Structure 1
Amino acid sequence: MVDVLVIGGGNAALCAALMAREAGASVLLLEAAPREWRGGNSMHVRNLRCMHDAPQDVLLDAYPEEEFWQDLLKVTGGNTDEHLARFVIRESSTCRPWMRKHGVRFQPSLSGTLHLSRTNAFFMGGGKALVNAYYRSAENLGVQIRYDSPVDAVEMDGPRFVAARVGAERIEAKSCVLACGGFESNLEWMREAWGRNERGEWPADNFLIRGTRFNQGVLLKAMQQAGADIIGDPSQSHCVAIDARAPLYDGGIVTRVDCVSLGVMLNREALRFYDEGEDFWPKRYAIWGRLVAQQPGQIGYCIIDSKAVSRFMPPVFPGTKANSLPELARALGLPEENFMKTLQDFNAACRPGSFDHTVLDDCATQGLAPAKTHWARPIDTAPFYGYALRPGITFTYLGLKTNDEAAVHFDGSPSGNLFVAGEMMAGNVLGKGYTAGVGMSIGTAFGRRAGTSAAKAALAARSAHAAA
């Protein structure tokens, strides 16, 4: 019997496996994906949001605890557990030396991400390099790793973990860490969570999944049925507006289109529906997937002119280009009359100001609903560009309720040997909304804590058995 069983293969699972092994426990990690697709959504990450009170190598200036907390409070609208959120924030300030020890390397922010150079530490080689480094370190430390091993069920004795099942195989362990993601790739569950809208559409049918196809929510559902305490709204997720041409799965971060704050967003009726300049893009980009999901056909169109080009990270697919606004409307298949009226009204409402995309500037519209409160400039300089966007789901927020020991709860009480980390518990901190890099902060903090807690429980059980 192994001491600690880790179910999952992404950042949180790997952090748990490494910490448990460092604490002296024997560890088996089960990854549902084949080796070439290992790592879950962590393959696609870029950075980690980090608290720091002074400059640290790749991080500029300071990003103190209270500012991080206020940023999180704002994007979640207060729908967060402050104690657990502050635990994540404080852990983010001390984890990087440990990450380096396990082969993770950091680099300064590149052009297009300089606005994050104070708050976020970027991984050299991105998420794939981070995942590969952790797997190498885990193998070197003696963690057993099995691929193509989706766990179908978990055997419980009340609140205590007993065994996991992979097909007909039964795997016992003294303790277990659940870190196998949300349910975003389970279309049936997503349809159930979102339901039909007032137009009779199933919005989930038009969602694209930015990450892994293996996050089916099997064990999340199993734990619900086993009586675990659940937290979060099943319709809430890290939901980004991404290029409508992206693949159904694993498009990753390159499918994101980051020019929304520099232009206007229209629905398929060529009408604006929200303030594109509400706040800085890293704080508000993750609201746009949900906003687009609420539009007819779950599609939106970002319209910019040549003044915006080179001011945002270039997306992987080029935009639709036209030399006039009517030509662009026709190329995008939007109603030309509505399109021209919307753009003319917007241009007329823009008031002169000092444009500066690095601050909340004074370029705003006047007398227009919805307003654009910052970075509002007339869209009047050819060539013009349009990007069709659809909701891109990164991970869902419905999860297992936990505490700062990462224990799964049953009827308000923590399990003694079942722990949770990563996207399966992120809803404790993220009731809604998102800010860049915080998913990695949560996964790293709770992955490390879950591994420590699981090892402690397993080693205590081993000692008790030896004494008996």
Structure 2
Amino acid sequence: MSQIFQAGSAFDVLVIGSGIAGLSSAVAAAEAGASVAVLERSSPEEFGGNTRWTESYLRMKNEHEVSDDFEELLVSNAGNNIDPNVIEATSAAYENWPDYVKAHGMPDPELVSTLSSCAGPTLQWLKTFGIRFDALPTYFVTAAAPRIMPVGGGLAMIETLQAHARKRGVSLFFHTTVTSLSRRDSEGWLNVGVATGDKAGESLMLRARSVVIASGGFEGNPEMMTQYIGGTARYIRPVARGGYYNKGEGIRLALALGAAPAGDFSSFHAEPLDPRSAAPEALVMNFPYGILVNKNGRRFTDEAPGPVDVNYDHISRAIKDEPDGIAWVVFDQRIHDVPNWKKSIRTDQPSIQADDIASLAQACGISVEGLQRTMDEYNAACSDGEFAPLRPDGLATRGISPVKSNWARRIDQGSYMAYPIIAGICFTYGGIKTNNCAQVVDADGRIVPGLYAAGEATGLYYQVYTGATSVLRGAVFGKIAGQHAAAQLC
């Protein structure tokens, strides 16, 4: 049950959000002896943010080691056209970086190195609460990176952590939203205004020695989505209910205090979502073996540049720029040559089926003429060659644009099938700048005393998501934030 607020209550550490980042912070701080409260806008039945609804893939070879490409990919996705002077400055010790470099929005090497080196120890810490990890089957038919995950997914992790938080005396407040946040006053307190369901329309003030912002991104806020993503945000929806609770207040309140922004505010992590389904993560991942067309029946992207786990993000995101922000994957009976292809379909809705292309187009509500012309052009561009469904096979189209780089076979063996796909949003990329202790850094490169951030509220990613790193980021820096905040009390 949710506890009841008392105005003026004071805590050593106040955590905003109860996903993997927030609960890791709360438990770590409580273990260190701090008095801790967690503020969560959702109900007790739906706590947990995005973590609750995901398998929580972790980009690790085993419980101790991250993937071999872990740091390389995070650094290579650090943004566009970075000033060489900034890059050179980061080769020095952090304390010697110029202030503007400390405040730069890129994921600096210190942050990436900390995430990589602390991943294994953080999993060992989580295991002490009874959370188990294993290399369980994923929904990817082809994959370029190893993944392990918690047994029971994200839900098992947050339920376990919440139970341990309660045992440690952490106060949990649900139906509660933070409305204001101050810097530390002369007595060392941060003042936090909250609105709670227990006191409708009433603003209450709390005090804390430290605050951890772990309230996620802004994918549940259409105003911020339109501001940062643009007009096509109208076509995007969260992949699961947890995203609707992420309204971006934590980010806005930190920026209002002078926090430096970080990450790519113009982009987001996308997944290919069946818009007909109400199920969480109703994904359609089989498009590398078919073609993607828009409502005009035209192809618009390379469906198969490589393994799907590397490429689904930017391919899904491209769909938002098509008419009405929707596409369809079209395939035929040859799909059955792909072993276990149905595991790539997570939607609970059936495929749209027809005996011929014209009927399929009509059933989908797309241009009959456009789809027939596209299919004729595509089939003519396919050539003979070895089809190898479980690895990139180089079986590419010839003479059409965009090219299909792998698994390009004629689609002419009816009956035909299609699924509609939109760009579902997992989380936004833009957020708060932090250092490797999860302390919030202001626009002048200085630490904001007592203010921490972890998880999706922080900026890390640019361009393309480095798969299976988000939950890991939340756990690692959530733990660091809680421990560091508690240590400052000594």
Gap regions ≥5 residues in structure 1: 196-201, 461-468
Counterpart contact for 2:441–2:448, Cα < 8 Å: yes
C-alpha distance in 1 between matches for 2:318 and 2:206 = 43
| Residues 353-409 of structure 1: CA deviation (Å, up to 9, x unaligned) | 222233221211111211111111111222211111112111111111111011111
Is residue 335 of structure 1 aligned with residue 337 of structure 2? no
Equivalent residue number for residue 423 of structure 1 = 456
Q: CA deviation at 1:215?
A: 0.7
Q: Alpha-carbon deviation of 1:194?
A: 3.0
- Give 1:342-421 correspondences, 5 Å limit: 342-410=374-442, 411-421=444-454
Asked if structure 2 preserves the Cα contact closer than 8 Å seen for 1:193 and 1:235, the reply is: yes
Counterpart of 2:122 in structure 1 is: 95
Q: Which residue of 1 aligns with 2:217?
A: 182
Q: Match for residue 43 of structure 2?
A: 34
Matches within 5 A, 1:88-237: 88-110=115-137, 112-113=139-140, 115=142, 119-157=146-184, 162-167=190-195, 168-195=203-230, 202-211=231-240, 212=242, 213-237=244-268
Are positions 1:282 and 2:309 aligned together?
Answer: yes
Q: 1:220 to 1:127 in 2, by over 3 A?
A: same
Structure 2 Cα separation of the partners of residues 103 and 163 of structure 1: 35
CA displacement at 1:15 relative to structure 2 = 0.7
- Does the 8 Å CA contact 2:183/2:448 hold for their aligned counterparts? no
Structure 1 residues 82 and 357: alpha-carbon distance in aligned structure 2, compared to 1, 3 A threshold: farther
SS at match of 1:94: helix
**Unpaired stretches in structure 2, ≥5 consecutive residues:** 1-9, 81-105, 196-202
Q: Which residue of 2 aligns with 1:436?
A: 467
Deviations 1:401-450 (A, max 9, x none): 1110111112211123110000011x2x2123113311112111111111
Structure 1 counterpart of 2:125, one-letter code: W
Q: Conserved in 1, the CA contact under 8 Å of 2:432 and 2:457? A: yes
Taking the TM superposition and a 5 Å limit, the aligned residue runs for 1:233-312 are 233-247=264-278, 251-253=279-281, 255-309=282-336, 310-311=340-341, 312=343
Helix, strand or coil at the partner of 1:403: coil
Amino acid at match of 2:224: W
Identity of aligned residues (%): 30
* 1:250-306 deviation line (CA, Å, top 9, x unaligned): x432x1111111111111111111111112111111112320111111111111122
Matched letter for residue 219 of structure 2: E
Normalized against structure 2, the TM-score is what? 0.84
1:86 to 95, 101, 113: 113
The alpha-carbon deviation at position 63 of structure 1 amounts to 5.6
Name the SS of the counterpart of 1:120 in structure 2: coil
Q: 1:448 to 1:116 in 2, by over 3 A?
A: farther
Q: CA deviation at 1:169?
A: 1.5
> Which amino acid letter does the alignment assign opposite residue 237 of structure 2?
L
Residue 464 of structure 1: aligned partner: none
Cα 1:357/1:113, change in 2 over 3 Å: same
1:174 and 1:152 mapped to 2: Cα distance? 18
For residues 455 and 241 of structure 1, the distance between their equivalents in structure 2, rounded to whole angstroms, comes to: 41
Distance 2:420 2:387 in 1: 26
Q: Distance in 2 between matches of 1:207 and 1:387?
A: 17
Whether 1:325 aligns to 2:357 is yes
Q: Deviations over 1:293-345 (max 9, x none)?
A: 11111111111122224424222222111122221111111111110111111
**Residues 125, 64 of structure 1: alpha-carbon distance in 2 compared, 3 angstrom cutoff:** closer
| Other structure's SS at 1:42 match | helix
Native 8 Å contact 2:59 2:67 kept in 1? no
Distance 2:78 2:270 in 1: 13
Q: Which moved further from structure 2: 430-439 or 266-275?
A: 430-439
Alignment coverage as a number of residue pairs: 440
- Cα-Cα RMSD: 2.3
In 1, are the aligned partners of 2:13 and 2:208 still within 8 Å (CA)? Answer: yes
Corresponding letter in the other structure for 1:45 = T
Q: Which amino acid aligns with 1:359?
A: R
State the secondary structure of the residue aligned to 1:358.
coil
